[in-house]
Each structure stands twice: as C-alpha cells, then as structure tokens.
Structure 1
C-alpha cells in the first residue's frame, strides 16, 4: 500500500497522484532501487531495529537476492479499506493498493564447485539503461535505444525474452545500439539481451550481456455503441476496444473508467482471458451517463487514457 501525508489541503492527494503516475510509467522495483533504499535506511539512524539488522549484512548481497519486482494496481473496496486502516490503528490517509510479484531468493553458496578456468575471461557486453526514441511510453514497433559498455562485437544481435530467435539491430556502436521492436511484441514487462556471436573456435559461440527490463505499453481506440438510457441517470452501453499489439492467450487484462468530472468516480472491469490472441474486445457496461477517461491495463501495464462520452 502506498499512502501520502500533507500538512495542507490537497497536498496528500497531489503527492499520492504523483507517486501513482510514477508507478504507472515505471511499474518496477529493480535491484538498484532496493540497494539504494537499503543504503539510505542504514544511513538514517543506527538505533532502529532495521538499521541494526542491516549493519550485520552485506547490502550488495541482500539486494542481489531480489529479482525485478512488478507492481500492479490492486483495487480495494470500501470495506477492505476500512478493515486495513483499522488494523493499522491510525487515522486514515489517502492511499492506493498495489500487488507486488516476482520476488526471487537464491542460495548464498553454490551447490557445486566451479571448474577451474582454462581460458581468459571474455569481455562481456553490458546494458546499463534503455530509452525510447521518443517521449512517452514504449510501444511495439518503436525504436529502442540501449546504452552500455562493449555493446559492439564482430557479429552483434539482440534477444528478447530469452527467445531462440535473434534480432538484427538498426545501428551498433560500442556504447549504444538502436533496435526496431517487433510490431507483434506483447504489451507488458519485457527483457532484452545483447548477443555477440564468436566463430573463433569453429562452431558459433554466444557471448551474452545481462538482461535489461523495459515496459511495452498497449495502445487503445474506443468506440461507444448501443447506448440505452436507464433510470437514475444510468445507461447501458457497449465499448468496442481495438488494442495494439494483440492481447496474447491467457494474458490478464483490465478495463478502467475514470470520470472526467470533479466527483472522480471510477469503474474497474476484469476482462476474462481468451484462449486465442485478439486485438478487439466488446465490453458491456452500466454506468452513469457522463464523460470518462478509458484505459486498458494489459499484463500490469496501462494504455494512455482515451476520453469518451457515454450516454451524455
């Protein structure tokens, strides 16, 4: 749960909104973030229980125990929110819930002894950071820019998500590589790796970089159909959603509607997963007649908001 405090009116709401925007753009906690947080906690005070525990541990080793953590928004009902804050025994503050996943632990020692080295170490390529060629989120088909060290080899390729197939980069330099992402790359968290092919010993040999994570954002078009007025300013409608790239089989997705008016009312609809890939969805809704911001969340990553009018 993430919560915010402000001494004046609306400061907490603004701060919480900014934090949620950051988590929307980058829904990840990396090893580097964990290390920085642990280092800061250890430096704040030497009297707290956490600081005393951290003083007995290697922060580098502790941070390395954690893989990349994915954060997904988790909707709490009013009843669940009330129970949660009651258990905390403190006054309610504006808050938002998130589900964290993919925490990995590894052994401190190796299960077997490594064989002695018989050849000098090969200089492996290293990816340090990834950026898009334009502002905003990364989408399928966009140009991706990788920054790092020793990226250029005799034969340089890229691998996405540990697939067997290798991709050709557009440009290659020692500290920068540009790649055009496949147009069918699914939305969600992806990983990429630089691969050098070495033929010096006859058969091709791969020299691989570290895996670096990036997030592919879905794009969304919305068409409102079959609007039927109901009582109490409610209406029934069907939303035709066109998504790019395809939602893959069994890929989790969620529809979010946020009122554009000052009441900030919202609706969240879980979309049943399909056994086959699809780029169109028809969703039936029953909501108040007004304008909404519509977003589609695919595998934990939200599209940009599309403004539509439902029965207005």
Structure 2
C-alpha cells in the first residue's frame, strides 16, 4: 500500500509523463512548453516571456466506490489494540488545461496532452518508479517536495493507477472555474483511480486454523465442518427475554423466560452487564427444556440484588458447556429490561420505609419521597409520574439515598396512579393477569390536602 504522500506522487508522475511527452513532441507544439501541476488562479500569462503551459490541477478527491466497502480501521473493544490497517481508497479528479498566447497553440497543447494520457491509460509500476526515482540523477538535486515523494511507495500498492477521461458538462465546468476564480481555458477532465493509502501501525494478524471443531484425543483429527439441516443459527443463540405476563420489564424476584436455539448443555450461567457496573453479574438459571430452546431465570430479590442491580436496560448473555463439546460457549447478547419498583408500602426484608407525600408551604410544593427496588444509581435519570404530572428527581450523592421529587403545589389532593421512570424504563403500572388490562391498585400514592 501507499503512504499519505501518494496523492502528491500521482500528480508528480502525471506531470512527468506530460513533460516527457512535450519534450519529445518538440517543434510540433511550438517550442518549449512549461508543464506544471498548480492551481489555475496562480498562473499568470501577462508576462511577455511567459512560455505556453500545460497545467494539471487536482480539483477533487472522492472515496473509491469499490474499495470503500472494505473494513474500516478497527480496534479491540476490550484492550483498545489496533486490529486492522484498512486502506483509505481514493479517486483523484484532475483538470488538464492548456495556456497559450498564440492562435491555436492552446488547442495543440491540449490535443497532445490528451493523446499522451490516452496512450498511457494504466501507469505500470516501472513507470511510477522511474518518475519518482529519476536515476541516474541524484535525487538530492530535486526540490524538497519532490524528494519526499520518493517515499510514497506508490509503485508498491496492490492496484495499478488507471487514467480515465471524465465527462464534465458546461454547467459543472462553469461552476468549477467560477470557484477557482480564474478565466476559463480549454480543459479536459480525468479520473485517476485508485490510490490506496494505508497506515503502517502494528496490527493483529490471526494464525492459521489448525482444527475445525472438536479434536479426537486418540486420532488427533478434528471433527470437521458440522452441517445442521435447518435454517437456524449454527451456534447457541438467544432470541428474546420475555417477562411474566408479557410485561414491558421484569422486577426483582420475578421470572423471565429466555428463548433461543441450541441451548442444551450444562453449567448454565446468565451474565448481566450494564455500563454503570464495571463487572458483569452472574446468575444461575433453571435447566433448559429438552429441546434446548427455553430456560427460565428468576431475578433475586435480596439486599445483594438491591445493590448490584439497577433499573434500565441490561445486556444479557448465556454461558454454558454445550452437549458433546469440551469448551464453553457464550451466546449473543440480548436486552433485558429491569423495571423499577417504587417502594410504596414498607419493605421489612430490605429495611425500606414506605413512600411519603407531603404538601409544603415554604416554598409551595408537593414533595414525594420514596425508595426503589433495585436502587437507582446517582448517574441515572429518574422521574416520578403521578397521574399525568411528571417531576424529575432531585440530585443525590449515593444510591442508598431516597428519591425526592418536587411536584407543583397546584396538584389537587387525591389518589394517583404512580409510575417511577428510570432511564426511560417505567415501573409496571398495568395488571395483565386478568382478561383485560387494568391499573394495578397497589401502584398508587395519595396527595394530601
């Protein structure tokens, strides 16, 4: 692959190609011709001794549509180690312009320049090497910018440089020259593809595969490729985590059904991960059914779970030893929604007091104070909804502190359905055990007069 100097190296190679062609053309182009690769607005032909000029201008750089589908530079999610050095693939858009002060000379120069590029649609590696390392000349004699281009490694990239004429309509050409802020001259557009720029930073390259599947301890031969006669995933896969009664979330102490495929085995452990907890929590589920498609996990409801879990969305994976294998596997991750449960009546097992709602006069407000199962972390966003009135929780220093909400003093007295919302996850207000959904009578708070 090439280095970041490759863009400048392509311009230098094309300029060298045109320059050599103008020298060989000699008298046919009217004498000495200056070949350059600068912006058109920097060219001045007002001088009496100014030579005719053929200029190559890089006016646009675009991603290559084929190579851009390759992987981007990636890093390990765990260690941050660089894994790949994916190339930056670019197409270079050039404008070939002829300048002259004599009748028809600009047209002659443009014709010769276009013919030279037509005859060399592909720049082979030898031509690129000769242009950037002009032996037997001492490269130290050249300008510093050109000396640096010798290290571009353009000749070593996987793709050859291809030159293709590009159609540019009058409107597009007019906008381009207006942006350049220069007078229009006879021009032709070209696309040069593809330049591959790749970093040379250390990466990770996997070792060759020695075996596929289980290795027989006697013959030392691998099991080979295993074919499953179905359209299901070939590896243990989880599909969904469904709370009881198909509620929106699961509360502490409640079961959740995990459904998937190829879950048969032993030593099953459920791993729960959350951004606010650096270490994943492991829980032991019930044994899967005989088909290996379903198993049940019951969330604990004790003091340890109160502190080690939090309301919100968790990432759930299942780790176990599949039947007939010697190495454990871990499934894909699915979402588990743990719903907050506002402690409305006192919970003696967790030593949590009942919720209180007070109407205060200095200043005028209604203040609700309550705890949640599990605890709400200080970094989580919590709000309380009484009926249709919502209030955000006051800042707290620790997860063990109660949640305090200041509601408007205009809130009328009476009993209100209560919802505790944490990071967008609501407590369970609906009772889905009957024939039709209804509000859970236990999920209400009374506002005093």
TM-score (norm 1): 0.52
- Aligned to 1:113, the other structure's residue is in SS state coil
The equivalent of 1:218 in structure 2 is 340
Structure 1: where are the runs of 5+ without partners? Answer: 1-55, 66-105, 261-265
Residue 161 of structure 1 is aligned with which of 262, 273, 280?
A: 273
- Aligned to 1:186, the other structure's residue is in SS state coil
The equivalent of 1:142 in structure 2 is 254
Instruction: Return closer, same or farther for 1:130/1:109 CA change in 2, 3 Å cut-off.
Output: farther
Instruction: Return closer, same or farther for 1:207/1:272 CA change in 2, 3 Å cut-off.
Output: same
Residue 131 of structure 1 is aligned with which of 232, 236, 242?
A: 242
Give 1:45-64 correspondences, 5 Å limit. Answer: none
Residue 206 of structure 1 is aligned with which of 307, 318, 328?
A: 328
Structure 2: where are the runs of 5+ without partners? Answer: 1-64, 75-82, 88-202, 215-233, 345-354, 430-442
TM-score (norm 2): 0.38
The equivalent of 1:251 in structure 2 is 379
Q: Distance in 2 between matches of 1:150 and 1:187?
A: 30
Instruction: Return closer, same or farther for 1:148/1:107 CA change in 2, 3 Å cut-off.
Output: farther
Q: Are 1:128 and 1:148, in contact at CA under 8 Å, matched by a contact in 2?
A: yes
Instruction: Return closer, same or farther for 1:218/1:229 CA change in 2, 3 Å cut-off.
Output: same
Instruction: Return closer, same or farther for 1:235/1:197 CA change in 2, 3 Å cut-off.
Output: same
Residue 303 of structure 1 is aligned with which of 427, 432, 445?
A: 427
Q: Are 2:383 and 2:391, in contact at CA under 8 Å, matched by a contact in 1?
A: yes
Structure with bigger RCO (C-alpha 8 Å, 6+ apart): 1
| CA offset digits 1:43-82 (Å, max 9, x no partner) | xxxxxxxxxxxxx89xxx99xx9xxxxxxxxxxxxxxxxx
Instruction: Return closer, same or farther for 1:258/1:227 CA change in 2, 3 Å cut-off.
Output: closer
Q: Distance in 1 between matches of 2:323 and 2:262?
A: 18
The equivalent of 1:37 in structure 2 is none
Q: Are 1:251 and 1:298, in contact at CA under 8 Å, matched by a contact in 2?
A: no
Q: Distance in 2 between matches of 1:109 and 1:147?
A: 38
| CA offset digits 1:217-271 (Å, max 9, x no partner) | 00114444442469xxx953331213111223x33132233556xxxxx343243
Q: Distance in 2 between matches of 1:214 and 1:244?
A: 16
Give 1:157-196 correspondences, 5 Å limit. Answer: 157-161=269-273, 163=279, 166-173=282-289, 174-183=292-301, 184=305, 185-196=309-320
1:198 shift after superposition? 7.4
Q: Are 2:265 and 2:323, in contact at CA under 8 Å, matched by a contact in 1?
A: no
Q: Are 1:255 and 1:271, in contact at CA under 8 Å, matched by a contact in 2?
A: no
Please say if 1:113 is aligned against 2:213: no
The equivalent of 2:78 in structure 1 is none
Instruction: Return closer, same or farther for 1:176/1:254 CA change in 2, 3 Å cut-off.
Output: same
1:120 shift after superposition? 1.3
Q: Larger Rg: 1 or 2?
A: 2
Q: Distance in 1 between matches of 2:368 and 2:281?
A: 37
Instruction: Return closer, same or farther for 1:191/1:271 CA change in 2, 3 Å cut-off.
Output: same
Instruction: Return closer, same or farther for 1:311/1:254 CA change in 2, 3 Å cut-off.
Output: same
Compute the RMSD of aligned alpha carbons: 3.9
